[in-house]
Amino acid sequence: MPQSLLFDIKLSLPEIPEGGLVREKLLERFEEASRKDFVILSAPAGFGKTVAAAAWARHTAKKVLWFSLGEEEADLAAFYSLLLYGLETHEPHLSERFVRIASAAREAGLTASSAKHPAAALAKALKEEGSGEAFHLLFDDFHLCEDEAIIQFLTSLSDYAAPRVKIIISTRNLPRLPAARLRAQGRLAEIGVRELCFSAQETAEYVEARIGISPAPETLSLIGEKTEGWPAGLQLLCLSLEGRRDVPAFVRDFSSSHKFVLDYLMEEVLKRLDGETVDFLFKSSAAEPFTAELCSLLRPGTDAVETIARIESENLFLVRLDDNGLWFRYHHLFGDLLRMRAKRAITADLPALRKKAADWYDGAGLPELSFSQLLEGGFTDEAFRYVETRSRYLYTSGRIPELLRLYERLPFDRFRDHPETCIWYAWFLTTVGKPAKVPTLLAWAEEGLDKQASGTIKSRMAGGIASIRGMGANRQGDFVLAASETEKAKKLYPEDDFHDLAVASYIRGGALANLGRAEEASEEYKTCFRLAAADGDAYTQGQALCERARLGLAAGDAEGSLSLLREAEELARDGDGFSLWCGAVYIYMAQAFDMLGLTEKALEKTEVGIELTLERGNPNPLVPGYALLIKLQLDAGLPADAGKTLAALEELAQDFGLNVPALQVIKAARLSYESCVGALSRDAEPAMATVSARIEAAYSEAVCSTAACSTAAYSEAALTRREHEVLGLLSEGKPNQEIADILFLSVGTVKAHLHNISEKLGTANRTETVALARELGYLSR
């Protein structure tokens, strides 16, 4: 069963509870708010956010796309995948374009600094959709996955696509949106506790409908006073009141504290149910989402279909997750309360239940849910083996973000007992540029080599260690070491391990090219192409062809390079990811046409290549692409256009941690522009001076970073001087604004530095950043 099953569940609009109160004023408020570009629905647990949002989505005539979010969407790559899947499902005529955008973004990797590039690609696709109707993207439970990169992406998407795209966020916490700016622009609407609370009239109508009698006005007034219009408390209270004769006395006897109300009323609700139903609630709450089939496995002998139907009919906070009524979960608050009580009531049964659920989810093709059950059940070694045995498949399927989420949930100190898992994790961390933990992982992997009985597995592990070190050395700029390590890897890998051998050849080709050994590099790329073809890996084949073409261009062989690039173009057209490398193909084609004096073709291919490359947010081909476009614009007598392109190139330097060669290209482009245009006009001078200063600063920091790398394990982990200053102030507990004031920076720049530090160290929050920085010696203890 494909991963799309879980996505389909997340896209399903929740059913409204039968007999629920129609809240006309709240629907009107939603309809009014939906005219804005951003809507924030914010309130604590139990205020009926999901029901209110779903009721409006079913009531309105507008196009609403529903997304039920979870912790598995806590990074931008996973969030973006779900969003594009949802758009593809709702707009099948745009399917091909969405698939291309999704593949490009997945391959490039997504961070807060690069989030606006996929946002721009998606905004362009949605704005060009023919109907003219606005898309209302409604994200429920946003608090479970709020992330800086996701916030940046949604902000950019709204900026680029409004008013064609409206974004509605339902959350327990106020998200870190630029709310002040959005309010000032008249683009933000906010719905909160005040609107979600039941009015006195709504409370009376709801209570009467639920318990079948009309309590006295003073009792209704007391209910309103005790629950304060809180929907969850009111619903639990009504469940407790059903069939009671002493309604006034019962209402008088409980506190108005939300926590007490929950505990007290939950106990009252459970007391009124038979033991089998309570046991079913406890066991099914241990594995969400669930189906009747899974519940029958967890509680053998139960008619799960009948029990689920009865629970639903009794309004016990059950939420349907699909239109067919196959998948369910409990209301989050109710589910949390059930699990708290289950830990006391069925403690001994929980590990076995979670193991059964893990096996069932695995058979259903839901690896993240299976993995979660293993960890929560205490089956840590099984969780390690689970990711280890599935890493190659998920990696070659392009699901690196999903894999990293699994690895990051494993206890780090336990990796030492799983050397093969160490290699996989080190590989993924090096691939995405988070090398801080890599040396430790490789040391533990080498410890495990001597204990490995199988010669084939031992050789593959040793080859993996060498390849990772080669990749890290390439990033560091130690190309001699990179060439040596990858040559070692090629000798260690088994002969039929085509994929790993191809990747090792690709890494070695880059090292040789940077050493000026072009002929050897070209032969290595040919070997890479042959091995990738044997493995059926079209992506690596295309990359190898592009690199051979780049070598040809450097040698002045424009015609030979064009031949290779046309082969890469055809290879991409035959595959399922046209945009993955064709952006680079067209930029390199443009360079060849420029060398041949075919200016119009060069300009055409440059523009197409830049557009395709922007879709994937990959800065590497963009730098030569923009630089060539500036040259062509200047040659055509279009200095104003060249100035705009130079500004875009400078912005690229701010968005990505570019290496020194890339920044040298940007500096050269600026010098060409300045020498061609001459003295800048008075109006343009301040702006261009800012551009120049920013490029110079980025270049200086990159040079400092590269110099520091001679004493660091990997260049990505070397902090710049400014990052050291920010880190020092962070370790003193200073907030962002105070750091900005001390260093004479903007708060946004401080946040960017903090994000870069976190990316380089591979940490998830401020506390972890400071702790690891001390461990690595960046801070005194």
- Per-residue pLDDT tens for 10-21? 998 988 876 677
Across 28-42, 104-118, 597-611, 677-691, least confident range: 677-691
Mean pLDDT of 316-342: 83
Query: Using CB atoms within 10 A of its CB, is residue 483 exposed (0-12), middle (13-18) or buried (19+)?
Result: buried
In the prediction, which pLDDT does 357 show? Answer: 96
pLDDT of 696 over the 60 cut:
no
* 179, 169 contact by CB (below 8 A): no
DSSP β-ladder status, 135-140 and 165-171: parallel
List, as one string, the DSSP characters of 164-176.
TEEEEEEESS---
CATH number of 719-776: 1.10.10.10
Q: What span, in angstroms and rounded, lies between the C-alpha atoms of 101 and 104? A: 5
Q: Return the residue matching tokens 């007490």.
A: 260
pLDDT of 108 over the 60 cut:
no
In the prediction, which pLDDT does 758 show? Answer: 74
Structure tokens at 32: 């009014």
Across 45-49, 485-489, 510-514, 563-567, least confident range: 45-49
Q: What span, in angstroms and rounded, lies between the C-alpha atoms of 166 and 325? A: 29
Q: For residue 285, give the nearest of 317, 263, 238, 237 by alpha carbon.
A: 317
pLDDT of 679 over the 60 cut:
no
- pLDDT tier at 621, thresholds 50, 70, 90: confident
Residue with the bigger pLDDT between 574 and 495: it is 495
Query: Using CB atoms within 10 A of its CB, is residue 780 exposed (0-12), middle (13-18) or buried (19+)?
Result: exposed
pLDDT of 578 over the 70 cut:
no
Across 160-174, 315-329, 491-505, 513-527, least confident range: 315-329
In the prediction, which pLDDT does 19 show? Answer: 63
Q: What span, in angstroms and rounded, lies between the C-alpha atoms of 405 and 407? A: 6
Structure tokens at 165: 């795209």
Task: Tell me how many helices (H) and strands (E) the chain has.
Answer: 40, 7
pLDDT of 492 over the 90 cut:
yes
Across 236-240, 350-354, 497-501, least confident range: 236-240
DSSP at 75 = S
DSSP β-ladder status, 188-191 and 135-140: unpaired
Mean pLDDT, the chain, rounded, equals: 81
Find all residues with CB under 8 Å of 406, minimum gap 6, and list them: 367, 368, 371, 387
pLDDT of 596 over the 90 cut:
yes
Find all residues with CB under 8 Å of 435, minimum gap 6, and list them: 429, 472, 475, 713, 714, 716, 717, 760, 762
One-letter amino acid of 576: D
Which tens digit of pLDDT belongs to each residue from 170-219? 998 888 888 888 888 899 999 988 899 888 888 888 888 878 777 788 88
Question: Which range has the top average pLDDT, 3-12, 316-325, 386-395, 551-560?
Answer: 551-560
In the prediction, which pLDDT does 579 show? Answer: 46
Q: What span, in angstroms and rounded, lies between the C-alpha atoms of 162 and 159? A: 6
pLDDT of 658 over the 60 cut:
no
Q: For residue 602, give the nearest of 611, 593, 613 by alpha carbon.
A: 593
pLDDT of 672 over the 80 cut:
no
Spell out a b/e string for 213-250, using b for 16 or more CB atoms within 10 Å of the CB, else e.
Answer: eebeeebbebbbebbebbbbbbbbbbbbbeeeeebeee
Bridge-partner residues for 68, per DSSP?
Answer: 140
pLDDT of 734 over the 90 cut:
no
φ, ψ at 580 (rounded to 5°): -60, -45
pLDDT of 557 over the 50 cut:
yes
pLDDT of 225 over the 80 cut:
no
* 144, 69 contact by CB (below 8 A): yes
pLDDT of 606 over the 60 cut:
yes
One-letter amino acid of 701: E
Which tens digit of pLDDT belongs to each residue from 357-411? 999 998 988 888 999 999 999 999 999 999 888 887 777 666 677 788 889 889 9
Which tens digit of pLDDT belongs to each residue from 434-462? 788 899 999 999 988 877 767 788 888 99
In the prediction, which pLDDT does 752 show? Answer: 65
3-state SS string for 79-126: HHHHHHHHHHHHCHHHHHHHHHHHHHHHHHCCCCCCCHHHHHHHHHHH
Q: What span, in angstroms and rounded, lies between the C-alpha atoms of 59 and 353? A: 40
DSSP at 290 = B
In the prediction, which pLDDT does 736 show? Answer: 81
- pLDDT tier at 504, thresholds 50, 70, 90: very high
In the prediction, which pLDDT does 686 show? Answer: 46
Q: Which helix (H) or strand (E) holds 66?
A: strand 63-68
pLDDT of 616 over the 70 cut:
no
- Which pairs count as long-range contacts for 464-468, CB under 8 Å and 24+ apart, including other chains? 464/423, 464/427, 464/489, 464/500, 465/423, 465/426, 466/492, 466/504, 467/427, 467/500, 467/503, 467/504, 467/507, 468/423, 468/426, 468/427, 468/430, 468/438, 468/442
In the prediction, which pLDDT does 609 show? Answer: 87
pLDDT of 130 over the 70 cut:
no
Q: Is 243 left (phi over 0), alpha (psi -120 to 50) or beta?
A: left
Mean pLDDT of 254-258: 51
* 717, 436 contact by CB (below 8 A): yes
Mean pLDDT of 493-514: 93
Q: How many CB atoms lie within 10 A of CB 711?
A: 7
CATH number of 4-196: 3.40.50.300
Residue with the bigger pLDDT between 18 and 109: it is 18
Q: How many CB atoms lie within 10 A of CB 765?
A: 9
In the prediction, which pLDDT does 663 show? Answer: 66
Q: What span, in angstroms and rounded, lies between the C-alpha atoms of 351 and 286? A: 10
Question: Which range has the top average pLDDT, 126-135, 617-626, 651-660?
Answer: 126-135
pLDDT of 256 over the 60 cut:
no
Residue with the bigger pLDDT between 614 and 388: it is 388
* 406, 367 contact by CB (below 8 A): yes
pLDDT of 617 over the 60 cut:
no
Residue with the bigger pLDDT between 154 and 268: it is 154
pLDDT of 477 over the 90 cut:
no
- pLDDT tier at 762, thresholds 50, 70, 90: low
Residue with the bigger pLDDT between 711 and 123: it is 123
Q: Is 60 left (phi over 0), alpha (psi -120 to 50) or beta?
A: beta
Spell out a b/e string for 639-673, using b for 16 or more CB atoms within 10 Å of the CB, else e.
Answer: beebbebbeebbebbebbbbbeebbebbbebbebb
pLDDT of 573 over the 80 cut:
no
Q: Return the residue matching tokens 């010098």.
A: 671
DSSP β-ladder status, 63-68 and 38-42: unpaired
